[in-house]
Amino acid sequence: MVFSTVMDLQSIDTNAFAPVLTVLGYAAIAAGFASFGVLPLIGRRQGSSVLLGLANSLAAGLMLGAAYALMVVDPDGLPPVSAIAAMLGIMYVLFTHWAIGTTELDLNRLDETDPTYGYKVLLINTLHGAAEGVAIGVAMIVSIPFGTFVVVAIAVHNIPEGTVLSAILASLGARIRDAAALAIAANIGQVLLAVATFAIVSAAPEVLPWAAGFAIGALIYLVMAELLPEGYREVGHTSVALVAIVAMGMVVVLTGLSL
Ligand SMILES: [Zn+2]
């Protein structure tokens, strides 16, 4: 009797926590990928603006691909509620920029002397990563293979973002090692939101279209308002378009294979 109770408890624990731990582990690995972003900076005194422009374009393409994957995942299409949720996702990004006073902040400056610039860029990256965390949580609910695929897309996207962030932090005097650690730290919100979204939608599946719509709206807005404009500022229009489209195309093709 006692034995079987212990067995029951064990099976309950495993069923309840194993998927959450999987999401936690995958999201943490994706966050860790941001640290690889410092690799192009090693041995240089400063990142080049061309590198930042291309990194932003690559991040933009991968993010558009991830948004596309979330849109097509349901063969019945997205319910109308997702459109409202997408607007909430856009408003989330707008509101956070407004609240911390960074609406028109140039996120690529390598010659900035304002001592608050580094904090603002870190904060922006953290809030931006939180929206991606919702995308990871939603994708993991859909299925583990699809979730794994979206995690990989966002993990790869975190690398060029890590390059941009750590180049800015290095230009403000941070050591490369510290810049790498801060690039990971900026994605802690991504990990937390991935786990929270997964747990909430597991408990209340009716929230799924809301969470999916929110993530799609926030991701596309971030691409339009942050990643692409930063890319266009640093490198030619053709380079930005080609890098972003090829990256997006690869995610789109792989989405078909993962579903
Ligand atoms: Zn991102």
pLDDT tens per residue, range 149-160: 889 889 988 988
Residue 52 CA to ligand 1 centre (angstroms): 14
Give, in degrees to the nearest 5, the angle at Cα 16 between 12 and 17.
Answer: 120
Predicted confidence at residue 25, as pLDDT, reads 95
Predicted confidence at residue 46, as pLDDT, reads 64
Residues with CB under 5 A from ligand 1 (ion): 161
CA–centroid distance for 62 within its chain: 10
Which residues of the chain fall below pLDDT 70? Answer: 1-16, 45-47, 75-77, 103-109, 112-113
In this structure, are residues 161 and 38 in contact, taking their beta carbons and an 8 Å threshold? no
Entry pTM: 0.83
Q: How far apart are CA 117 and CA 163, in angstroms?
A: 17
Residue 5 CA to ligand 1 centre (angstroms): 45
Residues contacting residue 234 through CB under 8 Å, at least 6 positions apart = 49, 50, 52, 53, 54, 56, 108
Residue 169 CA to ligand 1 centre (angstroms): 17
Give, in degrees to the nearest 5, the angle at Cα 216 between 118 and 82.
Answer: 135
In this structure, are residues 220 and 64 in contact, taking their beta carbons and an 8 Å threshold? yes
Predicted confidence at residue 77, as pLDDT, reads 65
Residue 10 CA to ligand 1 centre (angstroms): 38
